Amino acid sequence: MESENPVIISYSPAAVLNLFNNSISVNQIKRIVQLKGIYLQGKGNQYSGYFYDFFRDEASDAAITILVPPLIRNEMRPNKTVTVNGFVTRRVINSSGSIQIQLTVTDLVEQTQNKYNDDDLRKIELMQQKAVNGYRDVYSWLKEKIINEEPFKVGIIIGKTGIIDNDIKHQLRESIGFYDLNFHRINLISEEEIVTTLDRLNNENYGVIAVSRGGGDNLDIFNRFKIAEKAVTLRSLFITAIGHKDDVTLLQKVADKSFITPSELGQFFNDVFNHTVEELHNSKARLIESVKLQLSANYEKQIDNLNEKLKANEELRLSTAKSLELVYQEKLVMLNGQLASEQKLQSERIGLLNEQITDYKTQVTELSGRSSVNWTMLIIAVILGLIIGYLLKGN
């Protein structure tokens, strides 16, 4: 039985979008729902009796478009945490081939102060930006520099009267000869001076920049948005060691690596150096042993190959000699046969010649005999002629 060809239905892009739009069905579309978020105003243009504004999560970037009637919009304040009632709608966007989820506001339920103020939101956005850019692996970066013996500069920003440089140097111990440490003394309570110094060291191509200070309170300076923003944009790796265990500042949160005390920073540098050198020595030892084993294996393999070649050559030589011997014997037999044939032929030729000579001798003898008879007859004839002549004359 022949199968029928399926009918191909042709759709336009708009038809496909509307097909999926009509197929989406959730219970929340059929009833009023409550939505809570930070209210953000749109461009302020009204379409079909609604303003197109936004609701954003308090602690993330998730957002949804809301359609707000003018009367309710007048009561809503931007950047406030707002709770509204409404119903979920969908909007087909033909130009991008997408379906947008929206909320049409019907009631304003509550409007309260945000859980986070504007500065907090900016800090959250900055930490999100750092997360997107990525926290760089300081340990691996230092390890690579040590292995490749690539020089780099470490700029450590400390207070003008601080003595923590000695603490850091003391912890470095024998590794201090490797690190090119440069301490920069500034006023650590000046936002402008900190930002300027970070920017200068970054432009001077320091491999690592660290901000370090001793213990104590007064950490508000390290929560300043401007300083943290500059730290996020640094090309250099950024480290903090600002000496406080419980209160984690914004600057620490955006740093590639943080330490509680300056001594821990020095200890970290020393540990990275020693661990890397130890691993390098072990790796070299393993590499040398591996190379030895590999060379030994290669030499043994080469010797085996040479022995096999010698054996093959010897077998080839013997085989060749044997083959040559067989060829020689065959040729010798053939030559002997040819010689015997030549000798036989020669004997036959000699026999034939002998027979011919005998025949010739016989013929000569016969001829000789025939010649003697003729001469006798001739003589007898002559004598008879003389006698007859004489007789006739006498007569």
Q: 25-34, 38-47, 331-340: which has the minimum mean pLDDT? A: 25-34
Neighbours of 105 (CB within 10 A): 22
Question: Are residues 103 and 235 both part of a single domain?
Answer: no
Question: Are residues 141 and 204 both part of a single domain?
Answer: yes
Among 246, 277, 308, identify where a domain stops.
277
Mean pLDDT of 287-313: 75
pLDDT at 199 over 60: yes
Mean pLDDT of 132-137: 87
Question: Are residues 148 and 255 both part of a single domain?
Answer: yes
pLDDT-derived band at 44 (thresholds 50, 70, 90) equals confident
Question: Are residues 87 and 128 both part of a single domain?
Answer: no
pLDDT-derived band at 204 (thresholds 50, 70, 90) equals very high
Mean pLDDT of 162-190: 89
Question: Are residues 128 and 244 both part of a single domain?
Answer: yes
Question: Are residues 191 and 257 both part of a single domain?
Answer: yes
Among 51, 80, 115, identify where a domain stops.
115
CATH number at residue 106: 2.40.50.140
Question: Are residues 154 and 28 both part of a single domain?
Answer: no
pLDDT-derived band at 22 (thresholds 50, 70, 90) equals low
- Taking CA atoms, 21 is separated from 26, 27, 101, 379, in Å, by 12, 15, 10, 161
How many domains does the chain contain in total? 2
Question: Are residues 252 and 182 both part of a single domain?
Answer: yes
Question: Are residues 19 and 151 both part of a single domain?
Answer: no
Question: Are residues 250 and 104 both part of a single domain?
Answer: no
Write out pLDDT tens, residues 26-43. 665 657 888 888 899 888
**Is 364 part of any domain?**
no
Higher-scoring residue by pLDDT: 387, 252 = 252
- Residue 198 has a pLDDT of 95
pTM for this predicted structure = 0.50
Among 248, 277, 306, identify where a domain stops.
277
Domain that holds residue 61: 13-115
- Residue 26 has a pLDDT of 61
Question: Are residues 57 and 126 both part of a single domain?
Answer: no
- Residue 285 has a pLDDT of 66
> Distance between CA 259 and CA 393 in Å, rounded?
183
CATH number at residue 243: 3.40.50.2300
Instruction: Sheet with 153-159: list strands edge to edge.
Output: 180-186, 153-159, 208-212, 237-241, 257-259
> Distance between CA 381 and CA 386 in Å, rounded?
8
Higher-scoring residue by pLDDT: 134, 197 = 197
- Residue 361 has a pLDDT of 74
- Residue 117 has a pLDDT of 64
- Please give the DSSP secondary-structure letter assigned to residue 48: T
Q: Which residue type is seen at 230?
A: K
- Residue 4 has a pLDDT of 61
Question: Are residues 83 and 183 both part of a single domain?
Answer: no
**Is 319 part of any domain?**
no
